[in-house]
Every structure is written in C-alpha cells, then in structure tokens.
Structure 1
C-alpha cells in the first residue's frame, strides 16, 4: 500500500513540474534565446547540477549498461528537449503539452511491437480517438493563429515517440540501475554535444528581454534564470524520480504523467494570456478520453 501511494505521489509531483516546464520554455524563448540555445543551456545546467551532486554514481554503472544509458539520454532527453523547444516557437504551451499526451499511446504501441506488451481491441479505439483529438488541436491552433506554422506540432509527436521508446527500454534493460545513476549517465554524455551546440550558436549573457506576465507585471529576470530552473528542477530532479517511477510501476503507468501535464500547462497558459479556445478544450478532452480507454482495465 505504501509503494502504491508513493507512485501516485511521484506521478502528481512530476505532472506539476513538467506541466510548468512549457511556460518556462516560453519565457526563455521570449527572452531572446533561439530554441537551440534554450535546449543546450537546459542540458548544460542539468549536467553540471547532476555531476556536482552525484557524479560518483557514474562509476557504479556496469560497462555493458552504458550503451543503454547513452540511448536513454538521446531518446529521453536530447531529442525531445530540442524538438519541444523548436515546436514552441510556433505553437502554444497548452497545445504542446496536450500533444505530449500521445506518449502513453505510443508507449503501448512500441511496447506491443518491440517489447511483448499485449495489445487489446479497445486500445485501438483509444488510439483513434487520440488522433482525432490531435487533429482538432492543430486545426484550432492554425485557425486562431494563421501566422504560425502548425506543422511544427509534428515535432512534438516525434518527441512522444522518443519518450515512448525510452520508457520501454529503461524498464527492460535498466531496471537494475539506480534512477540517479541513469540520469547522471544520461547528462554526462549529453554535456559534450550541448557545449558544441552553444559554441556554434552563442548567446549574449547581457541580453535581458523585458516582458510582462499574465498579470501585467514587468518581468526583469534574465531568461537564463528560467532555463536554470527548467534544467535543474524540470529536467535533472524530475528525471531521477521519473526513472524511479518506471522501475517501481509499469511503462504504461509511468507514462500516465502526460495525462495530467496539460491541465497544469493550460492553467499557466491562461495566467500568461496565451489563450485557450473551446475547440482546443474539446480536442484535449478527446485525447485524454482516448488515453483513458487505452489504459482502462
């Protein structure tokens, strides 16, 4: 019973943290960063933080596990971090977070095809509902913001496939590696490509973009402050507990966190005046209902 309560508690905390990450990305982008700088700094802050607090965990990982650690770093962090950052230059936080709800569906599909998970008829219906909801979201976003390119929503879908593959792989091949060991290993490897990206893109540390929040209050915080919070809390600490959740539950349960993320992200979108339409709400409900059907016992 205690473990059951713990996994639900971790799920809710992760939903709150990751649901808030979309608005932090928006703050970084609004502050003058391009998506490649945002992603690279996010990895940089995460890597330095993890190596300082738990660098010794690297020496506890068996050599034969390192290839899976590297793959997990790429699928679970590197590619999605940049895909989400690029996508959010064209789509809103609420839509980006809702499309992320495809992760459980994709986890099921990849798990069924490559990892032996059972696939039931009702789960196909759930998948179809999810696709319908996704199309509604993209249409609503494109209609309300004709100047934006909503084909960028496909980048979020690709990111959910990366997440789904990573969840199944971690459950099968890294079940006996500590969650903090997996996370430190991921970002120790990703530090090098992040520094290379920064060396080509650059960033002026003196640049401060004065913006206003949803309450009309001037915002003078440097955009790197938001990215630091995103990297340390939303990526470093959150990944440790997410890997713990995968190990103590199942791939499908762990991916359930994406059901709750849109709720938190949409609240932030309303606060910061991104705007949410009725069609977007309806599309969100359809996606979540599809996910519910897919995971109903």
Structure 2
C-alpha cells in the first residue's frame, strides 16, 4: 500500500470513528427526549421498528441464502443485540441521566471478554482481570453517588443502572455469537436480517399492546418525540452498525474498539448541555470505568 493510500485509509478510519462516536454518544439524549412523551416500552419498540424497516431492502433479498441454524442464531442476535437492549436502555433512563447511561454503556467490551471466557472458551488474561477490577470499582462508585446530595449520598444505590449493565451483558453475548457462530455471513447481512427477525414482535407489541398510536394523534408533542426515536433507530441502530462494520474493514479492530471511549464523552457533553448535574464522585467513577475498560480491552 502506498503512502497516499495509507493516509487516505487513516483519514477514512478517523472519519468513521468520529461520526460513530457522535451518533452513539447522542443516542442517550435521544432516548431521553422520546421518554418525555412515550413509555420505555414504546421507545424501545419504535426504535426497533424504525431500524428494521429502513434495512428491509438489505435484509429480505438475503433471506434465501440462510440455513435453519443461521436463522436460529440470527433470531438470538436480533434479541440480545438490538431488541432487549432497546427496552433496557429506555427503562434505565426513566431514573438515570443520559450522561451516566453513556458511561455505563462503556462496560460492553469487558462483558464481551467475560461472556467469551465463560461460554465460548475464549482466553481471559491478567490484563483483562485488572481492567475488570478497576471498572468494577468505577461502577460501584457511580451506583452509590446520589445526584444532588454530594458525597453524603454514598450508600443510596440507583438500581436502574443494572438495566444498562444487563444490556451490556446482552451485547457481550451478541458479539460473541457473531464472532464464533457466523463465519461466512457478512456483518451487514447479520445486522439487517437480525433486525428483520425481531421486527414483527416489535410491531405487534407497539401497535397492539401500547398507546403509541393514540399518543401520536392526541398528545401534543408526540410527533416531535417520535421523530427523535425514529432518528435513534435509523441512525443509532441501523446505519451506525453498518458504518461500524465498514470501519472495521479500513482500520484495525483495536482502533475500531476505541469508539467505546469516545461515546461517554459525547453522552456527558449532551447531558451537561441539557442541565444534568455530575458530582465530584461521578467524575471519579467515570474515570475508573474508562480506565478499566481501556486496560481490560488493550491488546
């Protein structure tokens, strides 16, 4: 590869990295805006509907190429990689700030390591263990700092953070399934078809078991809130996953994983801009989580 091509490839990689950090880091403020009108279930379901619908041109033509085992695994990927986390994040943000949700989400690479070691015979190193320990301390600090109460708020655990950590566990399962059970199928096909697999469940739940349609017609501001969720689904779930897959091709996996460290920065920026308050204890916890993820994910 010539020097010019290397520079062009590096510029593309950095461009993808910045765009993805902005998109994924902004997801949490979009969830917050959607929750101003809609319930967590409505936000989660409509996010999946928007993402699944926009990728139909990519998913349906590829269905004929699948065997039964791939279909089964893609249903699991759709559930743990998109469907369940969409509901968990929305539920968490009913009692958790968007900025802290973005920080907790940074734990995903470490859960990839843990799930891989427990169920997929992946090797866990001493560096992984040190990173897990540091990040765990950071999570405990964040769980025990009560907003608006200073350090005297220690001891009041915000249990809604566990919804985010459970979503990270789902992502850990999802990425290991993709890594170890999909060799021939391309990443774009995995993303599109897995979303198609859970699209019917999201549609049925959204329009048969929630007040989503009623709110669109009768509640002031519902269309604006719905547009935020649609943007979340199309950009934050569908297009961002495709961009990430493209970035992996033009950059190293280690470079691609560095988006994990930028997402909390963007999430915190939006949170502070929106009037969210971070205490000194929060900053200690945030630093520990990011350092722990960096140490545990470094190769």
Partner of 2:3: none
Residue from 206, 215, 225 that aligns with 2:217: 206
Contact 2:30 2:228 in 1 (8 A): yes
Shift of 1:48: 1.4
Structure-2 residue corresponding to 1:162: 170
What's 2:24 paired with?
18
The separation in 1 between residues aligned to 2:181 and 2:14, in whole angstroms, is: 24
Whole-angstrom CA distance in 2 between matches of 1:36 and 1:26 = 13
1:217 corresponds to: none
TM-score normalised to structure 1 length? 0.86
Structure 1 residues 149 and 193, CA gap change in structure 2 (3 angstroms): farther
Pick closer, same or farther for the CA change 1:254–1:68 going to 2, 3 Å. Answer: farther
Cα distance change, pair 230–79 in 1 and its aligned pair in 2 (3 A): same
Distance 1:63 1:134 in 2: 40
Give the Cα–Cα distance (whole angstroms) in 1 for the partners of residues 249 and 80 of structure 2: 17
Q: RMSD of the alignment, in Å?
A: 2.6
Is contact 2:130–2:292 with CA below 8 Å preserved after alignment?
yes
What is aligned with 2:44?
39
Q: How does 1:32-181 map to 2 (within 5 A)?
A: 32-52=37-57, 55-141=60-146, 144=149, 150-181=158-189
Which consecutive unaligned segments of at least 5 residues does structure 2 have?
A: 1-5
Counterpart for residue 213 of structure 1: none
Task: Report the more deviating stretch, 283-292 or 255-264.
Answer: 255-264
Q: CA deviation at 1:240?
A: 2.2
Structure 1 counterpart of 2:260, from 235, 242, 258: 258
| Separation in 1, partners of 2:19, 2:142 | 26
Q: Displacement of 1:25 after TM fit?
A: 0.4
Matches for 1:226-265 after TM superposition, within 5 Å: 226-244=228-246, 255-265=257-267
Q: Identify the match of residue 33 of structure 2 among 13, 27, 30.
A: 27
Asked if 1:222 is matched to 2:231, the reply is: no
Change in CA separation of 1:251 and 1:78 when aligned onto 2, cut-off 3 Å = farther
**TM-score, normalization by structure 2:** 0.86
Q: CA deviation at 1:244?
A: 4.8
Q: Is the 8 A contact 1:167 1:251 kept in 2?
A: no
How far the C-alpha of 1:253 sits from its partner, in A, is: 6.1
CA distance in 1, matches of 2:242, 2:56: 13
3-state DSSP of counterpart to 1:150: coil
CA distance in 2, matches of 1:114, 1:269: 36
Residues 39-79 of structure 1: CA deviation (Å, up to 9, x unaligned): 11111111111114653233333443111111111111011
Change (3 A) 1:202 1:187: same
Query: Distance in 2 between the 1:163 and 1:268 partners?
Result: 23
Q: What is the Cα deviation at residue 142 of structure 1?
A: 5.1
Gaps of 5+ in 1: 211-219
Where 1:151 maps in the other structure, the secondary structure is coil
Deviations 1:82-114 (A, max 9, x none): 000000001000111101111111111122233
- Greater CA drift, 39-48 or 2-11: 2-11
Alpha-carbon separation, structure 2, partners of 1:22 and 1:66: 30
Q: Following the alignment from structure 1 to structure 2, what is the Cα–Cα distance between the partners of residues 62 and 9?
A: 36
